[in-house]
Structure formats: structure tokens, C-alpha cells
Chains A and B, each alone.
Chain A
């Protein structure tokens, strides 16, 4: 009797909640090299996505080639990217970049619809820069004209 109730108590306490509550998406490697490691984790509670950077190096080249695979949860007639850089807990840089606009759809995937699976392998419009040494956190948010999240990622950049 005692043993049974003890076992019941223990099971109740250690068995995980249903419905994925409190679970985070796994951390993935975006690229890895001797001098640079980039990891990311989706912060969109609805889904994960795939991302990799083709050439990983401390001296980030302009017009980097990336691969990106995702299921669109929203139409992306208009699409914006917010970038928040921080290091050791304090915010360094915040900026917003329009990816797709009504009067300037910059990329071929602009205008794709909710529910579509999108795979993009191509350049991004970045400027070249050298990543400073240390560990940096970057929060990336992709959202459409309604502010609805298309993708969210916590990216960790470790430069040695």
C-alpha cells in the first residue's frame, strides 16, 4: 500500500506535462569553423526552422550566402527583420531592415503565402564586418506588415 502510493507520488511529480508546455526548441549549429561558431534556437513557440551560413569566418564577407528553410505562418507580402545585438547582457545595437516592401520586394520569395514551405538558398544584403572576439547574443525577429511573427531566433556567436 505504502509502496504503491509512493510510486504514484513519484510518477506524478516526474512525468512531464502534456502539450509541449515549457519545452524549448533545440539549439542548432548555423556554422562552425576554427575561429567562429554560430548557434541558433527558434523562439517562435509555434515552430522551429532550418538555417545555415555557407562560409563561416571571423571576417564576415558582404553578401553572405545562406540557406533557410521554414513553413510560413503568415503571408510575406511585406517582411521586416529586427536585429538586437547584445553582449554580456547589455544591448549594443538595435536595427530594423525591410526585406520585402510593397514598393520594393527585394527578394524572389516576397509575396509568398501563409502555409507555404519556403527554401531560400542565396545571398543576404549584409555589409562585411569583422566579428569581435568573445560571445555575443543576437535576437532576430522576422515579422510581416501586421507585426505577426514569421520567425524568431536567439543566435549565439562565439568568436575565438
Chain B
């Protein structure tokens, strides 16, 4: 009887526990910003949960289950400005669904198998600006009710079954700026189609991934367009003939790895002469007859992008390209920098030769003619230059930004950038650098503000390395090693007193001398994360005030009380991922921590490592009692009382004994 009662009891307990487990697997929406932004994605919800406050403005509700939405579905959330209903299995959008949502600005209905949208489905918002109907099964544009869309700025209709872009007569286009038709079935664009857009100004049209086979002559000539995207179109001659007499800012005509496209001939590209365009992208195309005649109609261009167009060089003697400001030649196969024949483009201000698939040899003075060059990007191009960079970068007086990152090896001379004295940003990261100490390669870069030397295998013991940089603000030394893992008192930072931001993460640092940063009195942001520093290194930061201090992922266990004032002086501190001690020996710090939570970053990952019973517990949740507790005081008092009574009795006994023996 007893046994069966016990078994019964356990059975009920197990059953209840099982039920509790099942109930707790229904999660709640994540609050991203209290009373404002909520994420309810993926919760299998079939209605707006009661837990969402009425003040919600941004709601991500995608991947739920709302087959029908109507005027009661969202009625409580009248402050909504952004509503994402991606893939909610919505079939029906009934009348007045958003009638109370006057502030709604962005509505995302991507991936819903819409069967019908009522005439007044989008009524209510005062100014609906962005509407996403991507992959909703639309085959005809009259599916979208044209009411209340006067303020619409962007309409996204990608991945549908649209064959004609002829918008219905009463569809308002006055404020439309972006119309995205990518990946539809648009094969022909007529004048009538384009006429339906006549009220829009500065329009950007995206026809990427439509197999356009014909454009009626003059279809694009009645308006000025901001940009047209015909990416992935197999036959570009159709596009060029269709765009005759058109005026546009930007034309994207690139192709893709998975598109079988025809090679571009100079004849096709002559079509550019009949249109007015400033910027063109021809990525991944093959040119069938590459010569200077191909560039005949490029004279008007200000920007030209020939990324991954299988180029080994550019022809010399290209005439008339005096307007070109930006030239992108990434992911090509140049052997020598001189092969781009820079003299063709005298007005160039921005030049990109990133990701060259072969080792790019810099040569001598290859960019000499580019007197106006401001930005030069030669990153990821396996550059190897033993004695750089005055000959290689000869005569670039206005160069402001230079990127030589992800190269193989660069040997820097003394005052290596004499050729570009106006440099403001220099990126040499992930390129092995060779500097003959005690030389100063960056000498006289008076305007240099940002220097990235991350992972450069630097010789950090060269104290003159950073000499001659009077205005350097931001220095990145991430991933460079220091001798014996320590930054001594005299070091390379003495010459860069202007530094405000310093990154020394992942440098294998074990210790920092207390005086190491004494000349860096302007520092406001220092990253010492991912090293093996203990709390002693905090002493080096005693002169900093109101700084951002990142000490994450180090070896900090106990922080002694005399260092707490240094921490208190700073504005934000990150101590996450450290083996922090949560015993009484670290009590002063733990108390300080709880009182200064507003200063601390990444509280969730700032956890105890010690003692094992508190391992993994957030420091903000730790409750320790050290020293004598109230109970202890009570017992101590009682004990002392007992001792004093005993003492009095003993004295009394002694006196009596003495008296008896007088």
C-alpha cells in the first residue's frame, strides 16, 4: 500500500515536470528596446501575443503563422512604424487591416503566398514609404491596391511572375525613387510601360535577372534616371539599342558566374555613344576584341568598373577619357602596375586594383601621370616590394588614402612615403613589413591620421618606428608581438603623443610597464583585449580619463583596491572573458563592480572563474558576505560576555582566597 502510494507520487511528479518542460519550450518575443522594438521571429505564433506592449514601433514578426490578416489582427499596436511579416503564410489581406496604423512607414510581406489584397488593405498609414512584396506570387501589377500609396518611395517586387511593368493608370508614382523588379519574367519593355512611370523623378530601376530580349525604341528617352540595373542580361546589344537617347547617372550591366552570356564586342559598346551616362559597371564580362577603339564611347564616363573582366592590361593611346574620376580594376590578371597605362586617365581621383589574381609588380612611377589621385587601393594583390615606396608611388602629391594590405612583403625605406606627403590614411595590415631599425619609415607624414599596422610582423622594439607622425590619431597594432610579451618604459609610443585610439589586441602581452603610455595623454580609446594581461597592467592607464577601455579576454583575476580609482575615471570598461575571482580576497572590486554597472560593457560575459561553486555566474549576480556577519557579531558578543563573567568570577574567587589566607 505504502509502496504503491510512493510510486503514484513519483509518477505524478514526473508527469508534472514533463508538462512544465513542454510549456517552457514556447518562447516569448525578444525585447530589443523596451516598449519600442521587439523580435517575435520563428515562434509559431498565430496572433499578436498579449505580452507585446501597445507602444511597439518596430516589430519583426517573420516566420509565424497568419493565414489571414484583417482589421483586428494588429489593431492593438497603433504605434507601429516598421512591420516585418516575411513568410507568415499570409493568403489574405482583408479590408482596413492597417486602418489604425497611421505611423506605419515600412511594411514587409516577402515570401507570403498572397491570394488577394482588398482595395482598402493599405489604407490607414499617413505616409507608407517602403513596401516589400518580394516573392508573393504576383503576376500582374493590378494585384496591388493603388490607394494611399502617394508617399511610396520604394516598391520591391522581386522574384514574382511579372511580365510587364505597366503600372495601372491610377497607381501613384510621384514620390517613387526605387522600383525593384529583379528576377521576374520581364522580356520586353515598351514605351507604354515606361510611360506609366512618367511622374517619378530620379528613379532607380532594377531589372537584374530578367531575360530582357527587347526594348522599344525611345522607351527610356523621356526621363532622366538615377540608375538602371540590367545585370545578368545575356544579350547586352538589346539594352544598348533600347537605351538610345537616354540620360542616366548609373548603369549596371555586369554578369554572373552562372549566366551564359555573350562576349562583349566594341561594336556593342559603341551604343554608349548614343546615351548619356556617368557611371558604368561591366563586371565579369569577357571582351571579344579588346583595344583602344572599345573605349571610344567611354569618354563621357566619370566612373568605370571593370571588376573581374579577365584583363591582363589596358591598351595605351585611349583618347578622350578626361572625365574619368573612378576606375575599378579589381580581380583582374595584371602582371605589372604599369600595364594599366594610367596616362589614359589623367583626371583619376580613385583607383582600385584589389584582389588581383596574380602577383602585382609595382614597377617604377607607373602612376606618375595621375596627379589628382586621392585614393589608391592595391590590397589583396600579393604585392612584394623590397625597397618601397618612393619610386613605386612616385609623384602622387594629393594621395590621401593608400591601401596596401594583404600583400606578401613590403620593405620600407627611411621616409618611405615622401612621394605622397598628404596621406591621411595608410593601411598596411596583414602585409609582412621589413623596416631596418632604427629607421622611421613614416617620417614626415604630417597629415596622417589613421595607420593600420595590424598583423604586420613588426619589429616593435624599433623605438623610432612611429617617429615623424605629429597628427596620428588612430593606430592599429593588433597581432604584433612585443619582446618578452611586455611593453617596457621606453618604447615606440613615445613619438606619437597625439594618439587617441590605440588597438593592441592579440599582441600576446603579459605585462605593461607603468610608465609605458605616459606620453599618450590624449588617449580616449584603448583596446587591450585578447592578451594575457593581469590587473597590474591597469596601472599603466592611470593618467587616462573618460576613456573606453577594453580588457576582455585577458588573465585578470583579482583587481586590488588601489587600481579601482583608475577604473572609476574611465567612461566604459570591458572586462568580459577574464578568469575573475569571486572570493572575499576580491571583495573591494566586486563591490565596485556592482556600484558601477553603467560603466561596464558585455555584462553577460563577465563571469566568475573562481571558486568552482560560482563558476560561470555573472559578476553582477554574485552575492558574497565577507568579514563578520550579524550572526557572527552576536556570537562574538555572547562569547565576550561569557569570558568577562568568567574573568570577574575568577578575580572574585582569587580575592576571596587571598583574603582567606591573609
Residue ranges of A at the interface with B (Cβ–Cβ < 8 Å): 1-2, 5-6, 8-9, 12-13, 15, 17-19, 21, 46, 71, 73, 103-108, 110-117, 120, 122-123, 125
Contacts and interface: CB of A to CB of B under 8 A. Distances in A.
A111 B26 CA distance: 33
Nearest to B24: A19
B16 to A, nearest CB: 10
Per DSSP, are chain A's interface residues mostly helix, strand or loop, or mixed?
loop
Interface of B: 4, 7-8, 10-12, 14-15, 18, 21-22, 25-26, 42, 62-63, 86-87, 108, 110-111, 132, 134-135, 156, 158-159, 182-183, 208-209, 231-232, 254, 256-259, 283-284, 307-308, 328, 330-331, 354-355
21 contacts: A6-B7, A8-B12, A9-B7, A9-B10, A18-B22, A19-B22, A21-B25, A46-B42, A71-B87, A103-B330, A107-B258, A108-B208, A108-B231, A111-B208, A112-B159, A114-B110, A115-B62, A115-B63, A115-B110, A116-B110, A125-B257
A21 B25 CA distance: 8
Contacts of B25: 17-19, 21
A116 B111 contact: yes
The 4 nearest A-B residue pairs measured at CB: A115-B111, A115-B86, A19-B25, A122-B258
B149 to A, nearest CB: 20
Contact of B22 (A8, A17, A113): A17
A30 to B, nearest CB: 19
Contacts of A1: 4, 8
A114 B26 CA distance: 24
B208 A115 contact: no
Given A19-B22, A106-B256, A108-B259, A12 B11 contact: yes
B86 to A, nearest CB: 3
B328 A116 contact: no
A116 B307 contact: no
A107 B111 contact: no
Contacts, number: 100
Contacts of A111: 182, 208
A125 to B, nearest CB: 6
Give the most central of A18, A46, A108: most B CB within 10 Å.
A108
B21 A116 contact: no
A110 to B, nearest CB: 8
A61 B283 CA distance: 25
Given A2-B4, A105-B256, A107-B258, 9 more contacts: A2-B7, A18-B22, A18-B25, A103-B328, A105-B283, A107-B256, A113-B132, A113-B158, A115-B135
B235 to A, nearest CB: 16
A8 B21 contact: no
Contacts of B87: 71, 115
A102 to B, nearest CB: 11
B18 A15 contact: yes
Contacts of B108: 115
B206 to A, nearest CB: 9
A105 B8 CA distance: 65
Nearest to B355: A104
A1 B1 CA distance: 10
A18 B20 CA distance: 11
B8 A114 contact: no
